[in-house]
Structure 1
Amino acid sequence: MRRLDRWFVLLGLIVATGCLGFLSARHSWTWDWTRGARASLAPESVAVLGKLPGRVEVVGYLSPAGPLREQIAAVMERYTRAKPDLVLSFVDPDLDPAASRQLGIAGDGALLIRYHGREERVESPINERNLSNALERLARGGQRIVAFVTGDGERQADGRANADLGTFMRQVERRGIRAVPLNFSQTRGVPEHTDLVVLASPVAAVPAQSVTALVDYVRDGGNLLWLTEPANDDLGTGALADVLGVRVLPGVLVDGQGSTLNVNDPRLVVVGDYPFHAITRAFRETTLFPQVAALAQVSDHDWAVVPFLRSGERSWTAFGGIDNDKPSTVAFHPEAGELKGPLDFAFALNRLSPSPAKSEQRAVVIGDGDFLSNTYVGNGGNRALGERILDWLLGDDVLVDLPARGAPDRVISLSQDGLNAVTFGFLVFLPLVLLALGVGIAWRRRRR
């Protein structure tokens, strides 16, 4: 009887092993234990895939010779794991040279992504960043045209000067946004098929013709991003401010809160806490704004106005000059009319669109344009915030929700006690231990 029980146990083990082998051949389970899930897709890539319901085709026009096919298949395996209906296939370009020439394929080939009749080409190198950017452009539904007003000293979208926006715009162009110049002295009004107009910190008086064109554009339902600066309320843009229902307050916004983050110039406004809005939802990065103008909203307007950038409790609008050698000595003078914070310096506006072709009209007014300039766009979350602003203005709310890019362990956070412990351990304790071991070994050898 006992021998029969043993045979039953052995048979059960064989059946269980066979069942496990059968299931493992048809189902797979994957666990990523790497730091920050480095072996899996980043959260932003997963979020983009979630905005592409249905089948997505990825076609690699690559020669079978060489390692490129295997490398791309390894990268795409992460995407297919998150989206099973994403299909990868390869075509040998040598077998169809006419199609290859039509697609402009040469050298190492190309990777094309097709979705609902649209197609995007992935830039080289083929990595997660470029793949997700191409998928994001498909999620947008096509390229978006952003027109930058020029001719009055505005920040240039393709400029390389410190004050220009070239670095930022080169980043967002990969995400399906195309920047074009708009000079009202050469054209009448805003061209059709323009998704957004940007007025970026003019330094000269804006001609009445340009202001009228911008006002007409807003009244007709166009979306607008207006970056203004301190003392820019006298550049002839009053009519534009009236149609938006905002006012630029006099003075420069200064904030002593930055001293806690080793920012000694109070004109550099540091923001780490944001009023609730779709632009700042789940946004926790610190942003830096130099030379800010505070804003105020005018009542009795049909715009829904929501502030999404606000200075701290220790801020105020400073009048007069500030000593560049000792900016931290600036003081609050309420008797001169200076206003105490917290003060808003960015508004998001929306209303029912006057245009029958759109359901909603959106505008953003920010009292600073330096935060997206070539000099400051790399500070903290400045670039990520700029991308969120453009996404919201272009109506891509689903893309505003994308988490911020970046590795999770770029910064080592240590308290002062932890830093003291590391310093004492490596500079004092460890050398003493090694010295004691050396003395002990020498003493034992002498006793022998």
Structure 2
Amino acid sequence: MSRITRRLNSWLFAVLVLLGAGAIGYLTARHDHVADWTYGSRVSMSPQTRAVLAKLDGPLDIVSYADPQGDLRQTIAAVLQRYQQAKPDIHLSFVDPQKDPAAMRNLGITVDGELILHYRHREQRLDVLNERSFTNALERLVRGNDRVVAFVAGDGERRADGDANADLGTFVAQLEDSGMRAVPLNFSQTASVPEQTDLVVLASPQAALSPAASKALVDYLGNGGNLLWLADPGNQDPSLQPLADTLGIRVLPGELIDPSSSALGLKDPRMIPLGDYPVSPITRGFVLTTLFPEVAPLAEVRKSEWQITPFLRSSPQATMQSLNGSSGNAPKGPLDFGFALSRLSPSPAKAEQRVVVIGNGDFLSNSFLGNGGNRALGERIFDWLLGDDQLIDMPSRSAPDRVLNVSQGELNILSIAFILLIPVLLLVIGGVIAWRRRRA
């Protein structure tokens, strides 16, 4: 091959490389593609955020009150750009808060860059912009007005704002972030459930309800109210019987034991793990494993106008034992311990009345909320009771691989490997390479 031909090939190759680089630059400027291979795409946008955006069936207008000086506007626009890629009808506009300070005071704008989200005549405010706060604001927009959830108090119930192991403070705090407002309901201070209440929660009372409290709850159901009743083993107080009779169910006098739980490493057979659920509006498509400690089984005692759908059921290996430890002729599994009840509402204000009864309250407590899908199941229960059916199938926030659990022995092996073995191996490899080069 002549020198001219070789030069021509070299120039042609250089031109082709430049053309290829230009084509790549042209395509990347017009087509944006990002791949996130982390679990649940947690580095980019979470599946839950995408699911909430999909629930918004109209435009979302966002107004940011950010000073034009500095980089704050560019930062806000960059953060919201990925949401606009998932939902193109998100519109972002900026207002200079310095131009009309009086108007800013009337709007209550106190933070530079504060955002107001507008959707279908509803609005939410954000003074901190991150994915968690933005997703919570979107959920509140989907729900509409804040939902008032009244927690019965005064009879030893689990506290909605408590941080003790048995309380529900951690879970309720998350509910409040997503558009629910928890309030105490003490029947020693009021004779009935307030009219604006969307849901009443009776969480494992330890003392007998007063006759007035029992009557108020029965009247609340008679007027079309929604109820969550968490009953634990031993909750056989006669004061709860009118409530059970109204629903046509019974909390059985015993607790579940499941010997098969030992296969999952659980040493206490009273710990009931579930990975399979009966088909119901609450558990449809739910595949996460949940854990229930000390469960009271439930039974339907009579047919009524309530449609009763079991959604929590033990394994066939489970049995019921009495609280003194004897099993006798106790019923065998599978046994139900979660009922979803619904009927046509006697109230003209809504079409359907909903009640959930669960023979366990610990699964939502501060101690056990982080186990498997407990939190996600609790969210589904509240969404169904409040009529937010479109939010029930939302993906869980958490990813299962954020914590690496290793024993002390495994930790020692890893420490020796990284501190001693790997450096020694690198030194040996370097020495071998140096020796071979000297011989070459």
Identify whether the pair has TM-score above 0.5, normalized to the shorter chain.
yes
Residue in 2 that maps onto 1:119: 123
**Is 1:239–2:242 an aligned residue pair?**
yes
SS of residue paired to 1:94? coil
Per-residue CA deviation, residues 80-109 of structure 1 (Å, 9 max, x unaligned), is 111111101111211221122223322434
Give the alignment partner of residue 161 of structure 1, picking from 138, 161, 164.
Answer: 164
Residue in 2 that maps onto 1:385: 377
User: Which one-letter code corresponds to 2:184 in the other structure?
Assistant: P
Contact 1:346–1:365 under 8 Å retained in 2 = yes
Q: How far apart are the structure 2 equivalents of 1:270 and 1:398?
A: 27
SS of residue paired to 2:402? coil
Residue in 2 that maps onto 1:211: 214
Give the alignment partner of residue 347 of structure 2, picking from 352, 355, 360.
Answer: 355
Deviation, structure 1 residue 71: 2.4
Contact 2:191–2:212 under 8 Å retained in 1 = no
Per-residue CA deviation, residues 144-184 of structure 1 (Å, 9 max, x unaligned), is 00111111111111112221111111111011100111112
Q: How far apart are the structure 1 equivalents of 2:319 and 2:51?
A: 39
Q: How far apart are the structure 1 equivalents of 2:175 and 2:354?
A: 19
Q: How far apart are the structure 1 equivalents of 2:139 and 2:59?
A: 15
Residue in 1 that maps onto 2:357: 365
Contact 1:200–1:227 under 8 Å retained in 2 = yes
SS of residue paired to 1:392? helix
Compared with structure 1, are the counterparts of its residues 30 and 447 closer, same or farther at alpha carbon in structure 2 (3 Å cutoff)?
Answer: closer
Give the alignment of 1:200-349 within 5 angstroms.
200-321=203-324, 336-349=328-341
Residue in 2 that maps onto 1:10: none
**Is 1:65–2:69 an aligned residue pair?**
yes
Deviation, structure 1 residue 136: 0.7
Contact 1:75–1:128 under 8 Å retained in 2 = no
Contact 2:73–2:113 under 8 Å retained in 1 = no
Q: How far apart are the structure 2 equivalents of 1:445 and 1:90?
A: 65
**Is 1:79–2:83 an aligned residue pair?**
yes
Residue in 1 that maps onto 2:133: 130
Deviation, structure 1 residue 430: 7.8
SS of residue paired to 1:88? strand
SS of residue paired to 1:221? coil
Contact 1:257–1:270 under 8 Å retained in 2 = no
Contact 2:312–2:337 under 8 Å retained in 1 = yes
Per-residue CA deviation, residues 315-340 of structure 1 (Å, 9 max, x unaligned), is 11122445xxxxxxxxxx65x23222
User: Which one-letter code corresponds to 1:304 in the other structure?
Assistant: Q
Residue in 2 that maps onto 1:105: 109
Q: TM-score, normalised by structure 1?
A: 0.83
Residue in 1 that maps onto 2:5: none
Compared with structure 1, are the counterparts of its residues 184 and 433 closer, same or farther at alpha carbon in structure 2 (3 Å cutoff)?
Answer: closer
Contact 2:72–2:113 under 8 Å retained in 1 = no
Residue in 2 that maps onto 1:326: none
Contact 1:252–1:319 under 8 Å retained in 2 = yes
Deviation, structure 1 residue 257: 2.7
Deviation, structure 1 residue 76: 0.9
Coordinate RMSD, CA, aligned: 3.3
Contact 1:293–1:345 under 8 Å retained in 2 = yes
Deviation, structure 1 residue 53: 1.5
Identical amino acids, percent of aligned pairs: 57
Per-residue CA deviation, residues 54-95 of structure 1 (Å, 9 max, x unaligned), is 221111111123433222222211111111111011112112
> Matched residue pairs, number?
413
Compared with structure 1, are the counterparts of its residues 82 and 445 closer, same or farther at alpha carbon in structure 2 (3 Å cutoff)?
Answer: closer
**Is 1:375–2:356 an aligned residue pair?**
no
Contact 1:188–1:213 under 8 Å retained in 2 = yes
